[in-house]
Chain A
């Protein structure tokens, strides 16, 4: 795009008259400010002249017209002395200060010129990327986004009348090599030894990033991990050797060495998810023979060789090379067929490819979008898809927290042992139906009222049967599991609830609270503070807190009809519950509502929420954080997802067809 022509930075606010005149000469068609007598130039204008862009806009004018309103309307609530972002390098002056335009422009300059992954850090932060504590402040491809990009261009090429704002070509996102997660290891060894009753095992969970445990950038090899992988390989193969008939047809007593060799080669192909190299064939068969010769025990030799596979790099990691060895670093290269098979299987099944997928790879069918689509639909119809969908939701919606619900017995005498399990089962069923039922949509997840009919849960819901009250319940966020998991032992936490929705459903995580802040909730006061909401509202009146708590509480208070174990209440501590709230982000910005059902209905109807869900699945599918180079893909995906009414299976197939999913960045 091309920016409006401008006259350079000296149109006003310039220290010297001569510069001002030069600027006018350079841009003859610019409107001449009324306050300046061009015939007898004797003094600098005391105040900035009225802005008339004409066909030439100066750098300063562009800042005042297009950028400053963004700063003063949004950024300033945190990026100001005394604000939550006071600690950053970017402390702005409010418009009440005379120098705010010049000061703020200079504050932004270094950030604007700093590049990360081929894109301006200022633009990325405003878009909610690159670790912006304040989340998304500017929408992609909005006029505000254009204004910031133009600002960057003007920093790069100052004092020009015509500035070409380059079309941003962010770097191809990197494709760090992934390692199988604990759940992927479990599923994969189950597929390698079908029919065997395998032991449970523990393997270190990698640090969570955006909630997901498969983020390659933080998957560090550590001593405990390597030790646990060895333990896993020993425990799994020991269990397998207890029941060899389930997975091997060779006679192990004879022993039938050629048969065992053939089995080991076939097992190697499956464990490494590609044909073994000749070198690998020699090494693993040689190892079996050596171990067999050492002790004369073919069972021990077989087990040790199987273990060796399970401790090797090609089993534990998903190394990818692509199909073009001549590609230059930074270029996109298509994945090989077998690499594509593993991407598909660990995305859609959270496990290894099956024979049909390996055959498709062998036949070159995964080199085309159409071939991928055929396989993706086939895989989604397979029961193994359930384990991936369940695992995604477990991480995204923090379902493991449900098991840790521990209400204070004095406050919640109705809470009983077994309720946490029942609550988890209920949301698991809801999630299953939202992916594989007759209406596999986000609407279903956020609005459905079908419950399990569990008698314990019925006491909390206050209703029997399998249909919850339409006035009180709608989807995941009104279920006991989530409501209990986002409560403290005594009080429900509007803060946890609001932060959760912002982070997981709107992808706008609020920044962490500043240090040394007084977080004490006020003591119950019979006059002023009666309800839970009163307590938290008092808590957020501090102006430092308000900037963030406006968005947190605007969602969290919407759940005030639900107590710490999810029981619906219209009265809290003797006073009527106030469950009104208002969104301050995304396409819901400014929308007021009342109660959890209305809130869930708004979330279900929000394009911003659909875009966020798309982003969450994308992170999970690729095992990495999203980068600026993913934004165009994400925009296409979320538009399609929104267009289908939030159909999950189609979204998953669409993700598998994207260029990001089918390629990697050459290093």
Chain B
């Protein structure tokens, strides 16, 4: 009997799924996943409609329960669509953006900056906040040799959660037609035309351009020089990518008919692009920033989703209904993403087994809280002990300027765990090292989470 079966058996046998927490460090058997896909939402969640407490599990203790075997009625309204993947999921409940809680900026202006970076958000005068270092996707991408180190897509906007090593924003591709063209450039093999000759020699254009940057760089200093060095390196990356795409034969997915797509088609298109890129080895790391949808998509009355509904979801029952529908809609889209990954056989299982899918958010609530982040991991079955809901009770009061929320674990530990899950076991810190506690002292933010790995 493996651990998961044990949990299930205990849960069902006892009439309660409550289990005491156990340390659960990475075992030598853990196999890193090959790829990772960040699915980053907005407006947090409606926590009461997201959380699951089978058997009335207490809020003030660490516990976990098995997801398979839960009756459909026991799934929360928002997460109910995920039930078919119960044995492929790991729900993390009780993590917090401690980094957002301890800074004094408006909390809406910092979730995007810290959710994948783990850094403190830094205010930009007249602009929007950014972190002081890279987000995890970019850290992982810097060590990859795939044609695209990373890909970043946005469906219907939203601020980028991706940042380079200097904490500068990495932009998101929001045009599905352009994104498709980037993945599947027109082949020129065997063609004898001026157009084909121009296409075939694009790498030579980039080689010359990179060389001109080499000539320019020594004439500059300071930040200007750093900027041009980064530019030169990216031109070299593009040169390699152009050559690699000439040799790599990927079966293209159907091209999007327009860059203006309805919500369902648009979301599906970006998912298809992501899955195609991952399955063909064009990249191992994708971020999809999920933006706002039309009120009609979720049957919501007229009004601004952000100002009229998200902000009020905790205090206005009608707004909570709208936002629950919103997050439920995205749960459905998340399941469709898992469907696509599960449909591709790979290594005795499916592509999902070798891909970590992380559904996280820039906030935890529509009113900009950062504790009890709604985090769902799917896939990566060689590394994660899946099929479980893991709760960390709030134990650490953070020294916040507005209040001192009590949190379970800082999300930096999740970011370290994900680095390990992608084979980067040398990474023991992503973002800050610690944050101040209300009672004095600090909360360690380094190292991986326990209780999550096989």
Interface residues in chain A, defined as those with a beta carbon under 8 Å from any beta carbon in chain B: 86-88, 130-131, 176-177, 202, 204-205, 207-211, 215, 218-228, 230-231, 233-234, 237-238, 241, 279-280, 283-284, 287, 291, 294-295, 297, 299-300, 303-304, 307-308, 311-314, 316-317, 319, 321, 408-411, 488-490, 509, 511-520, 625, 667
Contacts and interface: CB of A to CB of B under 8 A. Distances in A.
B213 to A, nearest CB: 5
Contacts of A208: 127
A218 B124 contact: yes
A235 B106 CA distance: 42
Contacts of A279: 215
Nearest to A212: B126
Interface of B: 104-109, 123-128, 148-150, 152, 164, 166, 168-173, 175, 178, 181-182, 194-195, 197-198, 201-202, 204-206, 208-209, 211-213, 215-216, 219-224, 227-228, 230-231, 234-235, 237-238, 241, 302-304, 307-308, 311-312, 315-316, 319, 367-369, 401-403
A508 to B, nearest CB: 12
Contacts of A220: 164, 166, 168-170, 227, 230
Nearest to A177: B224
A23 B303 CA distance: 67
A211 B127 CA distance: 8
Which of A205, A238, A489, A515 has most B Cβ within 10 Å?
A: A515
B194 A512 contact: no
25 contacts: A202-B178, A207-B128, A218-B127, A220-B170, A223-B170, A226-B235, A226-B238, A287-B204, A295-B201, A297-B194, A297-B197, A308-B209, A312-B212, A319-B219, A319-B220, A321-B219, A409-B302, A410-B302, A489-B308, A490-B303, A511-B106, A515-B107, A516-B369, A520-B316, A667-B222
A489 B302 contact: yes
A89 to B, nearest CB: 9
A227 to B, nearest CB: 6
A515 B164 CA distance: 27
Contacts of A514: 106, 402
B402 to A, nearest CB: 5
Contacts of A299: 194
A227 B126 contact: no
Contacts of B302: 408-411, 489-490
A311 B369 CA distance: 44
A558 to B, nearest CB: 21
B234 A223 contact: yes
A410 B410 CA distance: 46
Given A87-B402, A223-B234, A319-B220, A238 B198 contact: yes
Nearest to A228: B178
A530 to B, nearest CB: 19
Nearest to B148: A223
B124 to A, nearest CB: 7
Contact of A226 (B109, B224, B231): B231
A458 to B, nearest CB: 26
A279 B403 CA distance: 62
Contacts of A518: 315
Contacts of B241: 227
Contact of A516 (B169, B234, B237, B403): B403
Contact of B208 (A205, A223, A234, A308): A308
Given A220-B164, A223-B234, A241-B194, 17 more contacts: A130-B125, A220-B166, A223-B170, A225-B234, A226-B237, A230-B202, A295-B201, A311-B205, A312-B208, A314-B216, A316-B231, A319-B216, A489-B302, A515-B107, A515-B368, A517-B367, A667-B221
Given A218-B127, A224-B173, A226-B234, A88 B104 contact: yes
A662 to B, nearest CB: 19
A304 B205 contact: yes
Nearest to A298: B194
A300 B193 CA distance: 9
Given A208-B127, A226-B235, A519 B311 contact: yes
B246 to A, nearest CB: 14
A521 to B, nearest CB: 8
A332 to B, nearest CB: 16
A515 B209 contact: no
Contacts of B106: 511-515
Contacts of A226: 231, 234-235, 237-238
Nearest to A520: B312
Contacts of B223: 176
Which of B168, B195, B209, B316 has most A Cβ within 10 Å?
A: B209
B211 A283 contact: yes
A410 B227 CA distance: 51
A131 B201 contact: no
B303 A408 contact: yes
Contacts of A218: 124, 127, 168-169
Contacts of B126: 209-211, 509, 625
A264 B293 CA distance: 49
Nearest to A296: B197
A314 B219 CA distance: 12
Contacts of B170: 220, 222-224
A411 B301 CA distance: 12
A218 B130 CA distance: 10
A516 B402 contact: yes
A316 B308 CA distance: 42
Which of A131, A237, A283, A519 has most B Cβ within 10 Å?
A: A519
Given A238-B198, A512-B105, A625 B211 contact: no
